[in-house]
Amino acid sequence: GDKVKQSPSALSLQEGTNSALRCNFSIAATTVQWFLQNPRGSLMNLFYLVPGTKENGRLKSAFDSKESYSTLHIRDAQLEDSGTYFCAAEDSAGNKLTFGIGTRVLVRP
Amino acid sequence: EAGVTQSPRYAVLQEGQAVSFWCDPISGHDTLYWYQQPRDQGPQLLVYFRDEAVIDNSQLPSDRFSAVRPKGTNSTLKIQSAKQGDTATYLCASSPRDYNQDTQYFGPGTRLLVL
């Protein structure tokens, strides 16, 4: 968890609002992946990023390798967005992902 | 396309017992990973294979854990003489040989409780 630091550790959102999650890296991250783990434990891919930004529906993510951070923005939060969001970084050695400890998100009606 | 499958989904053991976990990756994916996810933590890589070869097992407790992928497809992770500290979810993931996007796809995991 020290190599990939996620913040906040937990977040409670009103349905329909926006929020942002952040990861800071103390390793030389070359790519970043974001996942959502649902209450049943399944990890779902959200984004695979090289430096730059990607958008998918209400989610948008950015990765800045020079400043060593990545963000995930949730727009118009829905109940099904609840779960634990993980970011994971790959360094130049390749293939191995280092995960953060996650951000628990609860979307309230 | 079928996803990564794992079995069993749950296992409960007494300390000292052995257990094996099985993983079937997505067809055509050459790289297979095993992760351990303790409660309230992120997944931590144990070992990964490319085809049948172990690429990195530096985080695998070699005295009690072993992993094989003999034909470069399915894989088995085995724990000999389980300890309470092994209680965790064990996740398998696979990824294709795609140098532009090495996304990992995860299975549902096996939840292990060691009493």
Taking CA–CA distances from A4, the nearest residue in chain B reads B42
Residue A109 has pLDDT above 90, yes or no: yes
Identify the band that residue B1 occupies on the pLDDT scale cut at 50, 70 and 90.
Answer: low
Tens-place pLDDT, residues B55-99: 989 889 888 999 999 988 999 999 999 999 999 999 999 998 765
B43 to A100: CB separation less than 8 angstroms, yes or no = no
Whether B52 has a pLDDT exceeding 60, the answer reads yes
The Cα-based distances of A59 to A27, A54, A68, A77, B107 in angstroms read: 25, 9, 20, 9, 23
**Domains of chain B, each with CATH number or no CATH:** 5-98+105-114 (2.60.40.10)
Q: Are A45 and A35 spatial neighbours (Cβ–Cβ below 8 Å)?
A: yes
Average pLDDT of every residue of chain A: 93
Q: Considering only CA atoms, which of A55, A56, A49, A44 is closest in space to residue A83?
A: A44
- The residues, any chain, with a CB within 8 Å of residue A2's CB and separated by 6 or more, are A26
Rounded CA-CA distance B73/B50 in Å is: 10
Task: Count the domains in chain A.
Answer: 1
Supply the DSSP string of A37-87, one letter for each residue. Answer: E-TT--EEEEEEESSEEEEETTEEEEEETTTTEEEEEE-S--GGG-EEEEE
Parent domain of A88: 4-108
H helices, E strands: number in chain B = 0, 11
Contact across the interface for A35 and B106, Cβ inside 8 Å: yes
CATH at residue A76:
2.60.40.10
By C-alpha distance, the chain A residue nearest B46 is A96
Q: Is A96 in the B-facing interface, judged by CB distances under 8 Å?
A: yes
User: Pick from B45, B106, B111: which is nearest to A43 by CB?
Assistant: B106
